[in-house]
Chains A and B, each alone.
Chain A
Amino acid sequence: MTTTSAMTTSPLPTPGGTPTAGATATPVVRLRGVTKEYAGGVRALDGVDLTIGEGELLGIVGPSGSGKSTLLHIVGTLDRPSAGTVEIAGYDIASLSDRRLSALRARRIGFVFQAFHLVPGVGALENVAEGLLYSGLPRARRREMAAEALARVGLGDRMKHRPHELSGGQRQRVAIARAVVGEPALLLADEPTGALDSASGEAVMTLLHELNAEGATIAVITHDTEIAGRLPRQVRIRDGRVVADTSLASGEVGVTGAPGAPDASGDGKGAA
């Protein structure tokens, strides 16, 4: 169902905090030459180029330790790259202060975690409403939207249930409701089915597919090849490099024509 694939021509550079106006299809995410080195010399990401257009549903797959979570954190502006540029919803994040990045997350990005990270002892509705706490919306409106989001994920009858009164699959759906309640430009999910049995995982993936069909842009980390196989686009990562991207012509991996991009084609591990 994806109508837009990765853009390969680069639009105007973006000044600090002000996204480029007027672009018809500003990609939701554009990474160029993103490298992340941790203290101790671990290179978790090594020259990653990745563009995600509006309305895409993609899977990020790769073995454990390949850098998937690191990539998701950088795309989610929870971390900054050691090198390279990151643009989210048209904002160049290098030019944004921590405060503005927080605002960007509050309005444009939703996260779903493997461990759910729900607030214990608090009902489902309040957990979802927490997703709008930093948005500046008034409290009554937040609760209203939270109730709608809960109904949307099929938990309209579980508003007052606290996390320990819900099954794993239900908890993850609460977490998804919390992530999408503010209608973010981008939904990021790190192994959302990792802690679930296959039936619950199935339900969660179906929900993500539905949300995408309604227009949400979603990136899902998974190492379940079966789940990944059903996603419209797959980005395969190994040792911090993108080794395959089904949205690109096969064989042309990681190099998207950006000038000065590092030579990433030399590893010879082309996609199938």
Chain B
Amino acid sequence: MSRTRRLTAARLGPRDVLHVGSAGLRSRPVRVVLSALGIAIGIATMIAVVGISASSQAQLLRQLDALGTNMLVAKPGEGMFSGQEVKLPKDAVGMVGRIAGVEKAAGTGDLTSSVRRSEKIPEAETGGIAVKAATEGLLEVLRGGLASGTWLNAATGRYPSVVLGHVAAERLGITEPGRQVWIDDRYFTVIGVLDPLPLAPEIERSALVGWAGAERLLRFDGHPTTVYERSTDASVEDVQQLLAPTIDPQNPQNVSVGDPSSALKAKAATEGAFSTLLLGLGGIALLVGGVGVANTMIISVLERRHEIGLRRSLGATRGQIRIQFVTESLMLSGLGGLAGVGLGGAATGVYASTGGLPWVVPLWAVGGGFAATLAIGTVAGLYPAVRASRLSPTLALATA
């Protein structure tokens, strides 16, 4: 009969903690949805903001990967004296092609001609479309593709045939080859339309005529105005150094060299830097959501006075009452967080699929958003939980 055992309160197992913590939620599903909504909106906003910018960035990086970062462009620089027209030598493309490391070179030459849908349209209405002579290798150097038709070759390049960049084709209202356009004083047949060329937007807005045809039909002087080259990835830097002195050994300063992919890289970086304003809005929604959860918890404690008294009479310690309500608050905000991650992810998915972007939701954003919810749940639940645990059991049980 001897009972020398000291009294120790038993601990609740994790499953029991979940059980008591979810009891209040199960009995009031509508309230759960409404009070978790604020958190869900906040998290969804943040996930969507981060996800959309990450998706756009991923798209640009993917594009950059496909286009390569090993293309350089050489153009005539600013002349020594303003107004002085500097020309690249006629053989600039060939000279560049012979630089060690260069795999292929191509060139375009600007023409003063204008292109129109027909001779009836006044010459002033060019729609901002340039006419250029192009070497045969241009499409390959640009890694461009044809939306339809064929590219210029030695045969077609000699005759009045033209390939349109995709912006030029759009402006001229031409969707397929076979149509004719008016250049200078004669009709040229459209033999192809190009795909978009993110590395060479100037070509997108051009009508391209073969080198020989341009010299023969459009009084082209044969001097290229832009030289494009592709080199091996390892030799890009060396080639960059050599381009200007190779093209114009006497006045290398007359040649300016550019890297079109650097603009795309910079764009990718800015796309990745998501809008802090939108993120801030998401944060405010999250905060409001947290206040909503705290409010719900305070009401829950008030309403469940009897239950608290009952649990104390059944042997719950103050700590166990606290854990019950903090768990409830955590579940409430956690549910909001889960819904928010789902909503934000879905919003990103919809945006990505309509824009043809890859669907990217960074894991750190999901983890961070969820951690934020749990922190908010703890903070929101702590005060009500402490109040619940301090409630006098006798007062809690009193039926007033």
Inter-chain CA distance A111–B307, complex, in Å, is 13
Inter-chain CA distance A100–B15, complex, in Å, is 23
| One of A18, A23, A136 near B10 (C-beta < 8 A) | A136
State whether A102 and B9 are in contact (beta carbons under 8 Å apart), knowing that A115-B306, A139-B16 are contacts in the complex: yes
* A–B Cβ pairs within 8 angstroms, 12 of them: A19-B3, A78-B313, A99-B318, A103-B8, A104-B7, A104-B315, A120-B27, A130-B314, A134-B12, A134-B314, A136-B11, A139-B13
Inter-chain CA distance A136–B16, complex, in Å, is 10
Residues from chain A with a CB closer than 8 A to the CB of B397 are 78, 113, 117
| One of B4, B27, B311, B316 near A18 (C-beta < 8 A) | B4
Q: Does A209 contact B (CB under 8 A)?
A: no
Inter-chain CA distance A98–B394, complex, in Å, is 14
Residues from chain B with a CB closer than 8 A to the CB of A105 are 312-315
The 3 A-B residue pairs with the shortest CB-CB distance in the complex, in nearest-first order: A106-B315, A136-B10, A134-B315
Question: Could you tell me the distance in whole angstroms from the C-beta of B216 to the nearest C-beta in chain A?
Answer: 91
Question: Could you tell me the distance in whole angstroms from the C-beta of A4 to the nearest C-beta in chain B?
Answer: 14
Name A's B-contacting residues (CB within 8 A). Answer: 17-19, 21-24, 73, 76, 78-79, 89-91, 96, 98-100, 102-107, 109, 111, 113-115, 117, 119-122, 130-131, 133-136, 139, 178
Residues from chain B with a CB closer than 8 A to the CB of A131 are 314
Task: Check A117 against B310 for contact (C-beta < 8 Å).
Answer: yes
| One of B3, B309, B318 near A98 (C-beta < 8 A) | B318
Inter-chain CA distance A104–B7, complex, in Å, is 7
| One of A18, A23, A78 near B394 (C-beta < 8 A) | A78
Task: Check A18 against B6 for contact (C-beta < 8 Å).
Answer: yes
State whether A102 and B316 are in contact (beta carbons under 8 Å apart), knowing that A117-B397, A120-B27, A121-B27 are contacts in the complex: yes
- B182-201 contacts to A, CB under 8 A, are none
| One of B20, B27, B312, B399 near A102 (C-beta < 8 A) | B312
Task: Check A133 against B314 for contact (C-beta < 8 Å).
Answer: yes
Inter-chain CA distance A15–B347, complex, in Å, is 66
Q: Does B2 contact A (CB under 8 A)?
A: yes
Inter-chain CA distance A135–B16, complex, in Å, is 12
Residues from chain B with a CB closer than 8 A to the CB of A109 are 313
Task: Check A119 against B307 for contact (C-beta < 8 Å).
Answer: yes
Residues from chain A with a CB closer than 8 A to the CB of B45 are none
Q: Knowing that A102-B318, A134-B317, A178-B314 touch, tell me 12 more A-B residue pairs with CB under 8 angstroms.
A: A23-B1, A100-B7, A100-B8, A100-B9, A102-B312, A102-B315, A103-B7, A104-B7, A106-B10, A117-B306, A134-B314, A135-B10
> Which of B12, B311, B392 has its CB near the most chain A CB atoms (within 10 A)?
B311
- B295-313 contacts to A, CB under 8 A, are 306-307, 309-313
Q: Does B26 contact A (CB under 8 A)?
A: yes
Task: Check B2 against A22 for contact (C-beta < 8 Å).
Answer: yes
Residues from chain A with a CB closer than 8 A to the CB of B319 are 99
State whether A103 and B394 are in contact (beta carbons under 8 Å apart), knowing that A21-B2, A119-B23 are contacts in the complex: no
Name B's A-contacting residues (CB within 8 A). Answer: 1-4, 6-13, 15-16, 20, 23, 26-27, 306-307, 309-320, 392-394, 397, 399
Question: Could you tell me the distance in whole angstroms from the C-beta of A120 to the nearest C-beta in chain B?
Answer: 7
State whether A135 and B315 are in contact (beta carbons under 8 Å apart), knowing that A21-B4, A100-B7 are contacts in the complex: yes
Task: Check B16 against A133 for contact (C-beta < 8 Å).
Answer: yes
Residues from chain A with a CB closer than 8 A to the CB of B9 are 99-100, 102-103, 106, 134
Residues from chain A with a CB closer than 8 A to the CB of B314 are 105-106, 111, 130-131, 133-134, 178
Residues from chain A with a CB closer than 8 A to the CB of B4 are 18-19, 21
> Which of B27, B306, B310 has its CB near the most chain A CB atoms (within 10 A)?
B310
Residues from chain A with a CB closer than 8 A to the CB of B310 are 113, 117, 119
Question: Could you tell me the distance in whole angstroms from the C-beta of A167 to the nearest C-beta in chain B?
Answer: 19
Inter-chain CA distance A96–B317, complex, in Å, is 13
Residues from chain B with a CB closer than 8 A to the CB of A121 are 26-27
Question: Could you tell me the distance in whole angstroms from the C-beta of A215 to the nearest C-beta in chain B?
Answer: 15
Residues from chain B with a CB closer than 8 A to the CB of A21 are 1-4
Inter-chain CA distance A115–B9, complex, in Å, is 27
Task: Check B315 against A107 for contact (C-beta < 8 Å).
Answer: yes
Residues from chain B with a CB closer than 8 A to the CB of A103 are 7-10, 315, 317
> Which of A115, A120, A178 has its CB near the most chain B CB atoms (within 10 A)?
A115
Q: In chain B, what residue has the closest Cβ to A142?
A: B16
